[in-house]
Structure 1
Amino acid sequence: MSEWWESQSGGIPMDSLITAAARALTAGDPLGALNRVALRDDAPALALRGIAMAQLGDFDRATALLRSAARAFGSREAVARARCVVAEAEIALVSRDLSWAAKALDTARETLEAHGDRVNAAHARYLEVRRLLLIGRLDEAERMLADLDPMPLPSALRTAHELVVAGIAIRRLQTKTARAALVRAKRAAHHAGIPALAAEVESAYHVLNTPAARLIAQGEDRLLLLEEVEALLASETLVVDACRYVVRDAHTVVSLARRPVLFELARLLGEAWPEDVPRGTLIAQAFRTKFADESHRARLRVEVGRLRTEFGPLADVSATKRGFKLVPYSAHEVIVLARPIEEKHAAVLALLVDGEPWSSSALALALGASQRTVQRALDSLATAGKVQSFGRGRARRWMTPPVPGFTTTLLLPGPLPGD
C-alpha cells in the first residue's frame, strides 16, 4: 500500500504536511504519517490516515476512512477516488475478504491508466493477481502477470511481482524458479527499504526451507523439502499422494479425491509395497469396521476391481493368498507421500497458517467448498483449540498460529505438475 500516493495527478491541492505524510507511508512509517495528518478531515488527509491505519493493522477503521475520503474527493477527482478503491481492495486482500468486487478494481485501474498513473494502475493489477494466486487459479494469474513489466516500477512493486512469481512457482513445485524469483525479490525489497516487504520475502524463503511432506516406503518414514518432492515426482516412481489424493508417476495422474475408499485402499497397498496387505486389514481400515463378514469381503472385491480400473496404465492390484498387493507396470518403486503432520481439516488449516485473518466465505471460495462445510470444519477446529475467531456476523474472522517447522504448501489450492 506504500505506492498509493507515489505520484500526484488529477489536480489535488497539495501541502507540505500531506507530502510529508505520503513520503512517510511510502517509507513504511505509518506513525510518522499519522503525526502529520491525524487531526485533519480533508479528503487527502482522510485517505492517508486510512492507509496508515491499514499499515497498523486496523482494517475496519482503514476501510471506513478510505470510503470517507472517496466521498470527500467527489466526482471531479477521479484519480484520487480510484486510488481509494485500490487501497480498499488491498485491505480486503490482506484481511482475506476475497469477495470484493473485481469489477470496481478494474474500473479504478482503467481510470488510473487513462490519467497516466501507471504505478497505481500496476498496483491494482498485482492485487488481482495475488487474489487469483490465493484461490488457486494459477493459469489466470500467470496470464495476467505476463502482461506486467516490473522493470520501470518502484522497488516495492518489483518485490510484489517477484513474490507472485515465486508463489506460482512454489504451487507448481518449480523450486529453482521460485528461488531465483526470491533472490530478485530480496534485492528489490532491500532497495525499497520497507521492513514489512523484507519480512514477506523471508517468509517465502521459509516455505522452501522447511519440510513439506513425509515419505513412507518399505518401513522408511522421513520428511521431505519441496525440492525433494519435486525431484520425486519427476522420477520413475509410483507415488500415492496423500496430500492431493492422487496416484501418479512422472507421466500420468489419477485423481481419487472423490473416491475416499479407493484412495484409502491405494494408500494401504502403497505403504505395504512390495508386500501384500491382508484382506482383514484392508476391510477394517478402508470400511471403518472391526468385524468382517462375507458381505465385506464381497465389497472389497468390488472396490479392488474399481481401483484396478482407475489405475489404468499405472499399476495392477493382484490377489494373493492372504490379500492383495500393488504391482506397478513401469515404476521401479512405490512410495506414499503424506502430510508432515496428519490432521483432519488440513486444507482449512493450510490456508489459515499464513497468519492472516480469513472469513469463512473466503475460505470456501479458496477451497472450492460450500461455506457450510467450511464452517463445520472451523467449528470442529475451534473446539479442538486449533483456531480462534474474532468479530461477529460478516465481520467474523478466523486465525491460527503457524505450525512450527512445517510448510503446508502441498495442501494449498492449485494443481501439482501434471495435474
Structure 2
Amino acid sequence: MDSLITAAARALAAGDPLGALKRVALRDDAPALALRGIAMAQLGDFVRAKALVRSAARAFGPKEAVARARCVVAEAEIALVSRDLGWPAKALDAAQATLEAHGDRANAAHARYLQVRRLLLIGRLDEAERTLAELDPTPFPPALRASHELVVAGIAMRRIRAKTARAALVRAEYAAHQAAIPALTAEVESASLILDTPAARLIVRGEERLLQLEEVEALLASKALVVDACRHVVREARTVVPLTTRPVLFTLARALSEAWPGEVPRDVLVARAFRAKHADESHRARLRVEIGRLRTLLRTLADVSATKQGFALVPHRARDVVVLAQPVEEKNAAVFACLADGESWSSSALALALGASQRTVQRTLDALAAAGKVQSLGRGRARRWMTPPVLGFTTTLLLPAPLPSD
C-alpha cells in the first residue's frame, strides 16, 4: 500500500477526515474510494459516503475478499449512524464470516458490534444481550473496547440498571481516552449526559418530582405499588401486570393511583377513560365492566373498592402507591424518545424502531414539523428527521470505520 493511502488511513484513525481527503481526494482507486467514503461519513455527508464505499467495494478485485468485506462493514456503520436501520443483515453476516475466515478478528468483531447496536436501537434487547455475550473485548484495540462498553451501558440503561451502566461508561471513557479519537470521546460524553438526565417523573399523593435512573431503579426495587406509565404496567417488586394492550384499564389504574389514598368520582373516571364530556347510564355501565376487569387483573396486588362517589384503590401489601411517568408527557413521546439521541433518522428507521407502519410515522412527522417540533433534512429517500438542537448536549458522532490498511 502506498504512502498516501497509509497517511490518509492514519489521519482517519486520528479523527482528521480533512487531512485524509487532502491525500486521496483526487484518486479513484479502490483503497482511496474507501477512505474518501469514511472521511465523508465523518464529515456528515452520509449519502456521498455510502456511494463512495459502494464504489470501492465494486472496484476491489475478486481476489480482494477481505477489502470488500471491510467496505460492507463500513457501509453498515454509515447506515447505523444515519439511522437507516433496514440494511441487509445477511450481507453484514457474510462480511463478518469472511473477515473471521481470513483472521481479521478485530474487524469481524466490529461488524458484530454494529449488529448489536442496531438491535439496541430497535428495542430487541434480549437478542442484543445474547450477541454481546459472545464477544470478549479484552484482546481488541481501545476503540472496540469503548464500543463494547457503550453497548453494555445502553442495554443497562434500558434495563434500568444504573450502576451497571455507570460502571460501563467509566470503562468506555478510559478506553476512548486510550484510543484518542475525538468522535469516540464525544459519544461517551453524550451517553454520560443521558445517564445524568432525568429519566422519569414520580407522582405520589398529588406531588411530582423528577427522578434520575438510579432513583427509578431504587423505586422499582421498593415495596411500593408502582403504576408505570413509561411501560404501561402495574408492578410491585417482582410481580408485574402488563396493561400495554389494555389502554382503558391502564388509564383507570393510573387515575386511581394518582388519587390514592382517596377515591375518584365516577364522572371523572368516565371522562378520563372514555373521553366523554357527560356520563350517561351506558358510560356508567361500561365503567363497571372495565373496573371489574381491572379488579381481576390486579387481584394479586390490590383491590378496587366501590365508594359512594366512585372507586378507590386498596393495595394488599404496599404502603405506598405511586405513578411513574415520563419526564415530559407528549402525545408522540415515542418519536421524541428516538430522536433524542441527536441523530437524523429516516422515517423507515423510526417505523422499524417503533413497530409502526411507515405511513403512520410519516404523518406524525409531518404534523410535528408543521408545529415546529421536528425538522427535516434532504428530500426523497435521503430525507432525515431530527429534533432542533438542545444546548448542553453532545450529539453522537460516527466512529471511524475499520481502515483498509488494518
TM-score of the aligned structures, taking structure 1 as reference length: 0.92
Q: Which of 192, 199, 203 is the matching residue for 1:212?
A: 199
Matches within 5 A, 1:22-171: 22-171=9-158
Q: Name which structure has the greater RCO, CA cutoff 8 Å, separation 6+.
A: 2
SS at match of 1:344: coil
AA in 2 matched with 1:203:
S
Q: Which of 325, 328, 338 is the matching residue for 1:351?
A: 338
Structure 1 segments unaligned to the other structure (5+ residues): 1-13, 407-419
Deviations 1:11-49, CA, capped at 9 Å, x for gaps: xxx011000001111111111111111111111111111
AA in 1 matched with 2:315:
P
AA in 2 matched with 1:71:
R
SS at match of 2:363: helix
Deviations 1:118-158, CA, capped at 9 Å, x for gaps: 11111101100100111111111111111111111111111
Instruction: Note if 1:271 corresponds to 2:244.
Output: no
Structure 1 residue aligned with 2:374: 387
Deviations 1:213-245, CA, capped at 9 Å, x for gaps: 111111211110011000000110111111111
AA in 2 matched with 1:231:
A
**8 Å contact 1:353–1:401 — kept in the other structure?**
no
Deviations 1:143-176, CA, capped at 9 Å, x for gaps: 1111111111111111000000011111101111
Deviations 1:337-366, CA, capped at 9 Å, x for gaps: 111111111001100111111111111111
Structure 2 residue aligned with 1:4: none
Q: Which of 288, 292, 305 is the matching residue for 1:318?
A: 305
Distance 1:216 1:322 in 2: 23
Q: Which of 383, 387, 401 is the matching residue for 2:388?
A: 401
Structure 2 residue aligned with 1:281: 268
Residues 403, 24 of structure 1: alpha-carbon distance in 2 compared, 3 angstrom cutoff: closer
**8 Å contact 1:186–1:198 — kept in the other structure?**
yes
Distance 2:185 2:299 in 1: 47
Distance 2:10 2:191 in 1: 27
| Aligned residues: CA RMSD | 1.3
Deviations 1:249-270, CA, capped at 9 Å, x for gaps: 1121112122111111111100
SS at match of 1:39: coil
AA in 2 matched with 1:327:
V
Instruction: Note if 1:179 corresponds to 2:166.
Output: yes
SS at match of 1:306: helix
Structure 2 segments unaligned to the other structure (5+ residues): 394-406
**8 Å contact 1:210–1:405 — kept in the other structure?**
no
SS at match of 1:386: coil
Structure 1 residue aligned with 2:236: 249
**8 Å contact 1:156–1:192 — kept in the other structure?**
yes
Shift of 1:380: 2.1
Distance 2:3 2:365 in 1: 49
**8 Å contact 2:228–2:325 — kept in the other structure?**
yes
Distance 1:173 1:373 in 2: 29
SS at match of 2:84: coil
**8 Å contact 1:354–1:402 — kept in the other structure?**
no
AA in 2 matched with 1:196:
A
TM-score of the aligned structures, taking structure 2 as reference length: 0.94
AA in 2 matched with 1:383:
A
Distance 2:315 2:392 in 1: 34
Q: Which of 292, 298, 312 is the matching residue for 2:279?
A: 292
Structure 2 residue aligned with 1:193: 180
SS at match of 2:198: coil
Distance 1:70 1:385 in 2: 40
Distance 2:112 2:327 in 1: 35
Percent of aligned pairs with the same residue? Answer: 79
Please identify, of 199-208 and 180-189, the stretch whose mean Cα deviation from structure 2 is larger.
199-208
